[in-house]
Structure 1
Amino acid sequence: MPVSLRILVTRPQPSAAVTAARLEAMGHQIVLLPVMEAIHQPQAALDALAHPHSAIAVTSAEVFRALAPYKAQLAPHLQTTVYCVGPATAQAARHMGFQSVVAGSGTGVSLAQIAAAASSDLTGGLVYLAGWPRSPAFEAGLQAAGIACRTAETYRMSTIAHAPEAVEQLLHPPGPDVALLYSHETARHFFALLPPQIARSISGMRLLCLSQHVANAIPPGFGPVAIAAEPSEEALLALL
Protein backbone atom coordinates (compact mmCIF):
# COMPACT_ATOMS: atom_id res chain seq x y z
CA MET A 1 0.00 0.00 0.00
CA PRO A 2 1.44 3.43 -0.93
CA VAL A 3 2.73 5.53 1.97
CA SER A 4 0.66 8.62 2.80
CA LEU A 5 2.86 11.71 3.11
CA ARG A 6 2.24 15.17 4.49
CA ILE A 7 3.19 17.36 1.53
CA LEU A 8 3.78 21.10 1.63
CA VAL A 9 2.59 22.92 -1.50
CA THR A 10 4.09 26.40 -1.86
CA ARG A 11 3.09 27.39 -5.40
CA PRO A 12 0.64 30.26 -6.04
CA GLN A 13 -3.10 29.84 -6.35
CA PRO A 14 -4.98 28.63 -8.36
CA SER A 15 -2.19 26.20 -9.32
CA ALA A 16 -1.72 25.21 -5.67
CA ALA A 17 -5.31 23.95 -5.44
CA VAL A 18 -4.90 21.89 -8.64
CA THR A 19 -1.71 20.29 -7.32
CA ALA A 20 -3.33 19.68 -3.92
CA ALA A 21 -6.29 17.88 -5.52
CA ARG A 22 -3.92 15.72 -7.55
CA LEU A 23 -1.92 14.78 -4.45
CA GLU A 24 -5.03 14.08 -2.38
CA ALA A 25 -6.22 11.71 -5.10
CA MET A 26 -2.90 9.87 -4.61
CA GLY A 27 -3.69 9.48 -0.90
CA HIS A 28 -1.46 12.21 0.52
CA GLN A 29 -2.23 14.90 3.12
CA ILE A 30 -1.72 18.49 1.98
CA VAL A 31 -0.34 21.53 3.77
CA LEU A 32 -1.13 24.59 1.63
CA LEU A 33 1.16 27.60 2.00
CA PRO A 34 1.20 29.68 -1.20
CA VAL A 35 4.19 32.00 -0.82
CA MET A 36 3.49 34.38 -3.70
CA GLU A 37 0.55 35.68 -5.70
CA ALA A 38 0.24 36.96 -9.25
CA ILE A 39 -0.69 40.59 -9.84
CA HIS A 40 -2.15 40.75 -13.34
CA GLN A 41 -1.26 43.55 -15.78
CA PRO A 42 -3.21 42.54 -18.92
CA GLN A 43 -3.15 45.98 -20.52
CA ALA A 44 0.61 45.68 -20.99
CA ALA A 45 0.02 42.59 -23.14
CA LEU A 46 -2.79 44.17 -25.15
CA ASP A 47 -0.66 47.26 -25.82
CA ALA A 48 2.29 45.15 -27.00
CA LEU A 49 0.10 43.03 -29.25
CA ALA A 50 -1.14 46.20 -30.96
CA HIS A 51 2.34 46.59 -32.50
CA PRO A 52 3.33 44.59 -35.64
CA HIS A 53 4.81 41.17 -34.85
CA SER A 54 5.34 37.78 -36.45
CA ALA A 55 4.69 35.58 -33.40
CA ILE A 56 4.01 35.54 -29.67
CA ALA A 57 6.10 33.90 -26.95
CA VAL A 58 4.88 32.85 -23.50
CA THR A 59 6.88 31.24 -20.68
CA SER A 60 4.10 30.80 -18.10
CA ALA A 61 0.44 29.79 -18.20
CA GLU A 62 -0.17 32.65 -15.74
CA VAL A 63 -0.18 34.95 -18.79
CA PHE A 64 -3.35 33.29 -20.04
CA ARG A 65 -5.01 33.57 -16.65
CA ALA A 66 -4.25 37.30 -16.78
CA LEU A 67 -5.77 37.56 -20.26
CA ALA A 68 -8.80 35.32 -19.67
CA PRO A 69 -11.25 38.27 -19.25
CA TYR A 70 -10.03 39.78 -22.55
CA LYS A 71 -10.77 37.00 -25.05
CA ALA A 72 -12.64 39.38 -27.34
CA GLN A 73 -9.59 41.66 -27.63
CA LEU A 74 -7.41 38.64 -28.42
CA ALA A 75 -9.56 37.54 -31.37
CA PRO A 76 -7.36 39.27 -34.02
CA HIS A 77 -4.31 37.37 -32.73
CA LEU A 78 -5.66 33.82 -32.47
CA GLN A 79 -4.14 32.79 -35.82
CA THR A 80 -0.70 34.05 -34.80
CA THR A 81 1.85 31.39 -33.86
CA VAL A 82 2.45 31.17 -30.11
CA TYR A 83 5.74 29.74 -28.83
CA CYS A 84 5.10 28.22 -25.37
CA VAL A 85 7.76 27.15 -22.90
CA GLY A 86 6.20 23.73 -22.22
CA PRO A 87 3.16 21.48 -22.63
CA ALA A 88 1.12 23.02 -19.78
CA THR A 89 1.53 26.54 -21.18
CA ALA A 90 0.73 25.24 -24.66
CA GLN A 91 -2.46 23.65 -23.35
CA ALA A 92 -3.46 26.98 -21.78
CA ALA A 93 -2.82 28.74 -25.11
CA ARG A 94 -5.07 26.31 -26.98
CA HIS A 95 -7.74 26.71 -24.32
CA MET A 96 -7.65 30.47 -24.99
CA GLY A 97 -8.32 29.75 -28.66
CA PHE A 98 -4.88 30.08 -30.26
CA GLN A 99 -4.73 27.89 -33.35
CA SER A 100 -0.98 27.60 -34.01
CA VAL A 101 0.87 26.59 -30.84
CA VAL A 102 4.48 25.40 -30.60
CA ALA A 103 5.51 23.78 -27.29
CA GLY A 104 9.05 23.72 -25.94
CA SER A 105 10.51 21.26 -23.46
CA GLY A 106 10.09 23.44 -20.39
CA THR A 107 13.01 25.92 -20.33
CA GLY A 108 13.60 29.38 -21.73
CA VAL A 109 16.83 28.15 -23.30
CA SER A 110 15.06 25.43 -25.31
CA LEU A 111 12.29 27.83 -26.35
CA ALA A 112 14.85 30.33 -27.64
CA GLN A 113 16.47 27.54 -29.65
CA ILE A 114 13.12 26.67 -31.22
CA ALA A 115 12.54 30.32 -32.11
CA ALA A 116 16.06 30.62 -33.54
CA ALA A 117 15.43 27.60 -35.78
CA ALA A 118 12.34 29.39 -37.13
CA SER A 119 14.00 32.82 -37.37
CA SER A 120 13.21 33.16 -41.08
CA ASP A 121 9.51 33.26 -40.11
CA LEU A 122 10.10 35.84 -37.38
CA THR A 123 11.36 38.80 -39.39
CA GLY A 124 8.63 40.94 -37.82
CA GLY A 125 9.87 40.06 -34.34
CA LEU A 126 8.24 38.47 -31.30
CA VAL A 127 5.94 39.83 -28.67
CA TYR A 128 7.02 38.17 -25.42
CA LEU A 129 4.22 38.08 -22.84
CA ALA A 130 6.24 37.67 -19.67
CA GLY A 131 6.11 37.83 -15.92
CA TRP A 132 8.34 39.39 -13.29
CA PRO A 133 10.66 38.22 -11.90
CA ARG A 134 11.85 35.93 -14.68
CA SER A 135 14.96 34.18 -15.92
CA PRO A 136 16.85 36.16 -18.59
CA ALA A 137 17.64 33.00 -20.58
CA PHE A 138 14.87 33.29 -23.18
CA GLU A 139 15.45 36.95 -24.02
CA ALA A 140 19.22 36.39 -24.09
CA GLY A 141 18.74 33.51 -26.52
CA LEU A 142 16.61 35.65 -28.81
CA GLN A 143 19.18 38.43 -28.76
CA ALA A 144 21.95 35.98 -29.64
CA ALA A 145 19.85 34.75 -32.59
CA GLY A 146 19.19 38.29 -33.78
CA ILE A 147 15.41 38.04 -33.23
CA ALA A 148 13.72 41.31 -32.27
CA CYS A 149 11.60 41.04 -29.13
CA ARG A 150 9.07 43.36 -27.50
CA THR A 151 8.57 42.27 -23.88
CA ALA A 152 5.32 42.98 -22.04
CA GLU A 153 5.18 42.22 -18.32
CA THR A 154 1.70 40.74 -18.16
CA TYR A 155 1.89 39.84 -14.47
CA ARG A 156 4.15 40.38 -11.48
CA MET A 157 4.67 37.94 -8.64
CA SER A 158 4.23 39.52 -5.21
CA THR A 159 5.16 38.00 -1.86
CA ILE A 160 2.29 37.11 0.46
CA ALA A 161 2.90 38.54 3.94
CA HIS A 162 2.06 35.51 6.08
CA ALA A 163 2.08 36.23 9.82
CA PRO A 164 4.78 34.23 11.67
CA GLU A 165 2.09 32.71 13.91
CA ALA A 166 0.19 31.43 10.85
CA VAL A 167 3.33 29.84 9.42
CA GLU A 168 4.13 28.28 12.78
CA GLN A 169 0.64 26.83 13.06
CA LEU A 170 0.84 25.24 9.60
CA LEU A 171 4.33 23.81 9.99
CA HIS A 172 4.47 22.93 13.68
CA PRO A 173 5.91 19.50 14.56
CA PRO A 174 5.68 16.88 13.29
CA GLY A 175 5.52 19.11 10.20
CA PRO A 176 5.39 18.09 6.53
CA ASP A 177 7.44 15.17 5.24
CA VAL A 178 8.05 16.76 1.84
CA ALA A 179 7.93 20.23 0.26
CA LEU A 180 7.38 20.90 -3.44
CA LEU A 181 9.32 23.90 -4.78
CA TYR A 182 8.45 25.11 -8.27
CA SER A 183 10.42 28.34 -8.70
CA HIS A 184 13.59 30.03 -7.48
CA GLU A 185 11.67 33.02 -6.12
CA THR A 186 9.11 30.85 -4.32
CA ALA A 187 11.89 28.86 -2.66
CA ARG A 188 13.79 31.99 -1.67
CA HIS A 189 10.75 33.63 -0.11
CA PHE A 190 9.61 30.43 1.60
CA PHE A 191 12.83 30.08 3.57
CA ALA A 192 12.86 33.81 4.35
CA LEU A 193 9.47 33.67 6.08
CA LEU A 194 10.26 30.74 8.40
CA PRO A 195 10.41 31.58 12.12
CA PRO A 196 13.75 30.29 13.54
CA GLN A 197 12.18 27.54 15.65
CA ILE A 198 10.17 26.24 12.68
CA ALA A 199 13.21 26.39 10.42
CA ARG A 200 15.04 24.13 12.87
CA SER A 201 12.13 21.71 13.18
CA ILE A 202 11.76 21.20 9.40
CA SER A 203 15.44 21.31 8.47
CA GLY A 204 15.38 17.61 7.58
CA MET A 205 12.24 17.80 5.41
CA ARG A 206 12.71 16.43 1.87
CA LEU A 207 12.78 19.27 -0.67
CA LEU A 208 11.69 18.39 -4.20
CA CYS A 209 12.73 21.00 -6.77
CA LEU A 210 11.57 21.55 -10.34
CA SER A 211 15.12 22.43 -11.47
CA GLN A 212 18.65 23.06 -10.30
CA HIS A 213 17.92 26.80 -10.43
CA VAL A 214 15.16 26.27 -7.87
CA ALA A 215 17.47 24.18 -5.68
CA ASN A 216 20.06 26.98 -5.73
CA ALA A 217 17.69 29.08 -3.59
CA ILE A 218 17.74 26.59 -0.69
CA PRO A 219 19.90 27.83 2.20
CA PRO A 220 22.58 25.58 3.71
CA GLY A 221 21.38 23.24 6.42
CA PHE A 222 18.14 22.14 4.77
CA GLY A 223 17.44 18.92 2.93
CA PRO A 224 17.80 16.32 1.56
CA VAL A 225 17.19 17.92 -1.85
CA ALA A 226 16.06 16.15 -5.02
CA ILE A 227 15.73 17.67 -8.51
CA ALA A 228 13.19 16.63 -11.14
CA ALA A 229 14.56 14.92 -14.24
CA GLU A 230 12.80 17.56 -16.36
CA PRO A 231 10.93 20.78 -15.51
CA SER A 232 7.43 19.30 -15.31
CA GLU A 233 5.06 18.49 -12.46
CA GLU A 234 4.97 14.86 -13.57
CA ALA A 235 8.74 14.59 -13.12
CA LEU A 236 8.55 16.43 -9.79
CA LEU A 237 5.87 14.14 -8.37
CA ALA A 238 7.81 11.12 -9.58
CA LEU A 239 10.32 11.96 -6.83
CA LEU A 240 7.76 11.33 -4.06
Structure 2
Amino acid sequence: MKILLTRPRPAAEETARRLRSLGHEVTLSPLLQIEPVRWTLPAKAVQAAAATSANAFRGGVPAELKRLPLYAVGAATAEAARLAGFRHVDESAGDAASLFARLRAEAPGRLLYLSGETVSRPMPHDILHDRVVTYRAAARRLDRDAEEQLRTGTIDMALCYSARTLAHFAKECARLGIQRESLSLALLGKGDPGDLEGWRALHRPGAPTEDALFAAAHLLCEDDAEAGNG
Protein backbone atom coordinates (compact mmCIF):
# COMPACT_ATOMS: atom_id res chain seq x y z
CA MET A 1 0.00 0.00 0.00
CA LYS A 2 1.19 3.55 -0.73
CA ILE A 3 1.05 5.59 2.46
CA LEU A 4 1.29 9.33 3.04
CA LEU A 5 2.68 9.86 6.54
CA THR A 6 1.99 13.34 7.95
CA ARG A 7 3.44 12.79 11.44
CA PRO A 8 6.05 15.29 12.69
CA ARG A 9 9.72 14.38 12.85
CA PRO A 10 11.56 12.77 14.54
CA ALA A 11 8.83 10.27 15.49
CA ALA A 12 7.83 9.99 11.82
CA GLU A 13 11.17 8.43 10.92
CA GLU A 14 10.59 5.37 13.11
CA THR A 15 6.98 5.07 11.93
CA ALA A 16 8.11 5.21 8.30
CA ARG A 17 10.76 2.56 8.96
CA ARG A 18 8.16 0.29 10.50
CA LEU A 19 5.68 0.76 7.66
CA ARG A 20 8.36 -0.04 5.09
CA SER A 21 9.33 -3.17 7.02
CA LEU A 22 5.69 -4.26 6.64
CA GLY A 23 5.97 -3.90 2.86
CA HIS A 24 4.31 -0.50 2.39
CA GLU A 25 5.61 2.38 0.29
CA VAL A 26 5.87 5.54 2.38
CA THR A 27 5.92 9.20 1.39
CA LEU A 28 6.92 11.28 4.40
CA SER A 29 5.53 14.82 4.50
CA PRO A 30 5.19 16.15 8.07
CA LEU A 31 2.45 18.77 8.35
CA LEU A 32 3.61 20.03 11.74
CA GLN A 33 7.13 21.08 12.66
CA ILE A 34 7.98 20.78 16.35
CA GLU A 35 9.84 23.81 17.73
CA PRO A 36 11.19 23.98 21.31
CA VAL A 37 10.12 26.99 23.37
CA ARG A 38 12.31 28.64 26.00
CA TRP A 39 10.75 28.30 29.44
CA THR A 40 11.57 28.65 33.11
CA LEU A 41 10.40 26.94 36.27
CA PRO A 42 7.45 28.63 38.01
CA ALA A 43 7.95 30.42 41.31
CA LYS A 44 5.88 27.91 43.29
CA ALA A 45 7.60 24.67 44.26
CA VAL A 46 6.33 21.49 42.60
CA GLN A 47 6.54 17.91 43.79
CA ALA A 48 6.29 16.12 40.43
CA ALA A 49 6.02 16.71 36.68
CA ALA A 50 3.74 15.33 33.98
CA ALA A 51 3.90 15.08 30.19
CA THR A 52 1.64 13.66 27.51
CA SER A 53 4.06 13.97 24.56
CA ALA A 54 7.68 13.07 23.94
CA ASN A 55 8.05 16.52 22.38
CA ALA A 56 7.83 18.07 25.85
CA PHE A 57 11.54 17.45 26.41
CA ARG A 58 12.91 18.58 23.05
CA GLY A 59 14.35 21.83 24.41
CA GLY A 60 15.89 20.36 27.55
CA VAL A 61 14.83 20.24 31.19
CA PRO A 62 16.30 22.02 34.25
CA ALA A 63 18.43 19.74 36.41
CA GLU A 64 16.35 20.32 39.55
CA LEU A 65 13.22 19.06 37.78
CA LYS A 66 14.88 15.80 36.72
CA ARG A 67 15.12 14.73 40.35
CA LEU A 68 11.33 14.73 40.71
CA PRO A 69 8.92 11.97 39.64
CA LEU A 70 7.66 12.33 36.07
CA TYR A 71 4.24 10.99 35.08
CA ALA A 72 4.13 10.13 31.37
CA VAL A 73 1.50 8.91 28.90
CA GLY A 74 2.73 5.99 26.82
CA ALA A 75 6.05 4.27 26.22
CA ALA A 76 7.39 6.89 23.79
CA THR A 77 6.87 9.76 26.24
CA ALA A 78 8.32 7.72 29.10
CA GLU A 79 11.42 6.81 27.07
CA ALA A 80 11.92 10.44 26.01
CA ALA A 81 11.70 11.48 29.67
CA ARG A 82 14.40 8.98 30.62
CA LEU A 83 16.62 10.16 27.79
CA ALA A 84 16.08 13.74 28.99
CA GLY A 85 17.48 12.72 32.39
CA PHE A 86 14.45 12.02 34.57
CA ARG A 87 15.37 9.38 37.14
CA HIS A 88 11.88 8.36 38.26
CA VAL A 89 9.43 7.90 35.39
CA ASP A 90 5.92 6.57 35.98
CA GLU A 91 4.46 5.35 32.68
CA SER A 92 0.68 5.26 32.18
CA ALA A 93 -1.10 3.36 29.43
CA GLY A 94 -3.96 4.95 27.53
CA ASP A 95 -4.28 8.65 26.81
CA ALA A 96 -4.18 11.98 28.63
CA ALA A 97 -7.60 11.36 30.19
CA SER A 98 -6.30 8.13 31.75
CA LEU A 99 -3.27 9.94 33.17
CA PHE A 100 -5.39 12.75 34.59
CA ALA A 101 -7.64 10.22 36.31
CA ARG A 102 -4.57 8.67 37.95
CA LEU A 103 -3.19 12.03 39.00
CA ARG A 104 -6.42 12.93 40.78
CA ALA A 105 -5.85 9.96 43.05
CA GLU A 106 -2.06 9.67 43.19
CA ALA A 107 -0.40 13.05 42.60
CA PRO A 108 2.09 13.74 45.42
CA GLY A 109 1.35 17.48 45.45
CA ARG A 110 1.59 20.37 43.01
CA LEU A 111 2.49 19.20 39.50
CA LEU A 112 4.31 20.90 36.67
CA TYR A 113 2.60 20.04 33.38
CA LEU A 114 5.06 20.18 30.47
CA SER A 115 2.87 20.76 27.43
CA GLY A 116 2.66 22.06 23.91
CA GLU A 117 1.36 25.50 23.01
CA THR A 118 -1.88 23.88 21.82
CA VAL A 119 -3.40 21.01 23.78
CA SER A 120 -6.44 18.99 22.75
CA ARG A 121 -7.22 18.01 26.35
CA PRO A 122 -6.11 20.49 29.05
CA MET A 123 -5.23 19.23 32.50
CA PRO A 124 -8.35 19.68 34.68
CA HIS A 125 -8.40 22.49 37.22
CA ASP A 126 -9.15 20.09 40.06
CA ILE A 127 -5.59 18.72 39.72
CA LEU A 128 -3.23 21.11 41.51
CA HIS A 129 -0.71 22.11 38.83
CA ASP A 130 1.16 24.76 36.92
CA ARG A 131 1.47 24.52 33.15
CA VAL A 132 4.52 25.51 31.13
CA VAL A 133 4.69 25.51 27.34
CA THR A 134 7.85 23.70 26.26
CA TYR A 135 7.20 23.37 22.51
CA ARG A 136 4.97 24.52 19.69
CA ALA A 137 3.86 22.77 16.52
CA ALA A 138 4.06 25.03 13.46
CA ALA A 139 1.92 24.10 10.45
CA ARG A 140 3.66 23.57 7.12
CA ARG A 141 2.53 22.75 3.60
CA LEU A 142 2.77 19.34 2.02
CA ASP A 143 6.05 18.63 0.26
CA ARG A 144 5.97 18.89 -3.54
CA ASP A 145 6.43 15.14 -3.96
CA ALA A 146 3.43 14.49 -1.73
CA GLU A 147 1.37 17.07 -3.61
CA GLU A 148 2.17 15.44 -6.94
CA GLN A 149 1.32 11.96 -5.70
CA LEU A 150 -2.00 13.16 -4.31
CA ARG A 151 -2.85 14.91 -7.58
CA THR A 152 -2.05 11.80 -9.63
CA GLY A 153 -3.93 9.49 -7.27
CA THR A 154 -0.96 7.30 -6.37
CA ILE A 155 -1.49 7.62 -2.60
CA ASP A 156 -3.80 4.96 -1.15
CA MET A 157 -4.01 6.18 2.44
CA ALA A 158 -2.99 9.15 4.57
CA LEU A 159 -2.02 8.69 8.22
CA CYS A 160 -2.71 11.54 10.66
CA TYR A 161 -1.64 11.39 14.30
CA SER A 162 -3.72 14.22 15.79
CA ALA A 163 -6.88 16.22 15.25
CA ARG A 164 -4.80 19.28 14.43
CA THR A 165 -2.84 17.40 11.77
CA LEU A 166 -6.08 16.15 10.25
CA ALA A 167 -7.56 19.66 10.17
CA HIS A 168 -4.48 20.97 8.37
CA PHE A 169 -4.43 18.01 5.98
CA ALA A 170 -8.07 18.63 5.09
CA LYS A 171 -7.19 22.25 4.28
CA GLU A 172 -4.25 21.13 2.16
CA CYS A 173 -6.49 18.76 0.20
CA ALA A 174 -8.93 21.62 -0.42
CA ARG A 175 -6.07 23.90 -1.52
CA LEU A 176 -4.84 21.30 -4.00
CA GLY A 177 -8.30 20.34 -5.24
CA ILE A 178 -7.96 16.77 -3.96
CA GLN A 179 -11.30 15.01 -3.64
CA ARG A 180 -11.61 13.25 -0.29
CA GLU A 181 -13.42 10.28 -1.82
CA SER A 182 -10.23 9.44 -3.72
CA LEU A 183 -8.28 8.77 -0.53
CA SER A 184 -8.51 6.61 2.59
CA LEU A 185 -7.60 8.12 5.95
CA ALA A 186 -6.36 6.65 9.24
CA LEU A 187 -6.56 8.90 12.30
CA LEU A 188 -5.07 8.54 15.76
CA GLY A 189 -7.08 10.76 18.08
CA LYS A 190 -10.24 12.76 17.75
CA GLY A 191 -11.20 15.06 14.91
CA ASP A 192 -13.71 17.74 14.03
CA PRO A 193 -16.80 16.15 12.44
CA GLY A 194 -16.34 18.25 9.31
CA ASP A 195 -12.80 16.93 8.87
CA LEU A 196 -13.93 13.31 9.25
CA GLU A 197 -16.49 13.31 6.46
CA GLY A 198 -16.16 12.33 2.83
CA TRP A 199 -13.06 10.12 2.79
CA ARG A 200 -13.11 6.91 0.75
CA ALA A 201 -12.60 5.05 4.02
CA LEU A 202 -11.96 6.26 7.56
CA HIS A 203 -10.00 4.08 10.00
CA ARG A 204 -9.93 4.94 13.71
CA PRO A 205 -8.44 2.71 16.42
CA GLY A 206 -10.11 1.69 19.64
CA ALA A 207 -6.97 2.51 21.65
CA PRO A 208 -4.58 5.50 21.41
CA THR A 209 -1.55 3.54 20.19
CA GLU A 210 0.25 3.13 16.90
CA ASP A 211 -0.28 -0.64 17.01
CA ALA A 212 -4.03 -0.07 17.29
CA LEU A 213 -3.93 2.47 14.44
CA PHE A 214 -2.07 0.06 12.17
CA ALA A 215 -4.49 -2.74 13.03
CA ALA A 216 -7.57 -0.58 12.39
CA ALA A 217 -6.15 0.49 9.01
CA HIS A 218 -5.21 -3.12 8.11
CA LEU A 219 -1.52 -2.21 7.84
CA LEU A 220 -0.15 -4.99 10.05
CA CYS A 221 0.93 -8.33 8.73
CA GLU A 222 -0.14 -11.27 10.88
CA ASP A 223 3.25 -11.81 12.53
CA ASP A 224 3.66 -8.14 13.43
CA ALA A 225 0.14 -7.95 14.85
CA GLU A 226 0.90 -10.90 17.13
CA ALA A 227 4.18 -9.30 18.23
CA GLY A 228 2.45 -6.01 18.99
CA ASN A 229 -0.08 -7.77 21.20
CA GLY A 230 2.52 -9.70 23.16
The TM-score with structure 2 as length reference comes to 0.85
For 1:158, the equivalent position in structure 2 comes to: 138
Q: Distance in 2 between matches of 1:79 and 1:238?
A: 38
Does the alignment pair 1:97 with 2:85? yes
Structure with higher helix content: 1
Query: In structure 2, how many angstroms separate the alpha carbons of the residues matched to 1:199 and 1:162?
Result: 13
> Does the CA contact (< 8 Å) of 2:4 and 2:146 recur in 1?
no
**1:106 Cα deviation (Å)?**
3.2
- CA distance in structure 1 between the partners assigned to 2:200 and 2:118 by the alignment: 25
What is the letter of the counterpart of residue 83 of structure 1? Y
Contact 2:153 2:182 (8 Å CA) reproduced = no
- Are 1:177 and 2:170 counterparts? no
- 1:168 aligns with one of 147, 165, 169: 147
Please state if 1:235 is matched with 2:212.
yes
Residue 191 of structure 2 aligns to a residue whose secondary structure is helix
Q: Does 1:37 align with 2:33?
A: yes
For the aligned residue pairs, the C-alpha RMSD in angstroms reads: 2.2
**Alignment: residue pair count:** 217
Task: Tell me how far apart the structure 2 counterparts of residues 38 and 50 of structure 1 sit (CA, whole Å).
Answer: 27
2:115 to 125, 130, 134: 130
TM-score (normalizing by structure 1): 0.82
Given that residues 12 and 37 in structure 1 are in contact (C-alpha distance below 8 angstroms), is that contact kept between their aligned partners in structure 2? yes
Matched, 1:209 2:187: yes
Q: Contact between 1:184 and 1:217, CA under 8 Å: does it hold in 2?
A: no
Counterpart contact for 1:6–1:176, Cα < 8 Å: yes
Give the 3-state SS of the residue equivalent to 2:3 in structure 1: strand
Cα distance change on mapping 1:215 and 1:205 into 2, 3 Å: farther
Indicate conservation of the 8 Å contact 2:182/2:199, yes or no: yes
Letter in 2 for 1:23: L
Partner of 1:134, secondary structure, is: coil
Whole-Å separation in 1 of the counterparts to 2:212 and 2:194: 20
Structure 1 residue 197: deviation in Å? 6.1
Shift of 1:222: 1.5
Identity in percent: 31
Displacement after TM superposition at 1:167 (Å)? 4.8
Determine helix, strand or coil for the equivalent of 2:78: helix
The aligned amino acid for 2:156 is D
CA distance 1:131–1:93, change in 2 (3 Å): same
In the alignment, which of 57, 62, 67 is matched to residue 64 of structure 1?
A: 57
1:224 to 2:201 alignment: yes
Distance in 2 of aligned mates of 1:224 and 1:75: 47
CA contact (8 A) 2:114 2:133 kept: yes
> 2 CA distance for matches of 1:198 and 1:36?
21
Q: How far 1:175 sits from its partner (Å)?
A: 2.2
Unaligned runs of 5+ in 2: 220-230
Q: Is 1:9 aligned with 2:11? A: no
Q: Post-superposition, which runs of at least 4 consecutive aligned residues in structure 1 deviate over 6 A?
A: none
Q: Deviations over 1:73-112 (max 9, x none)?
A: x332222110112221011112222121112223221111
Q: How far did 1:65 drift?
A: 2.0
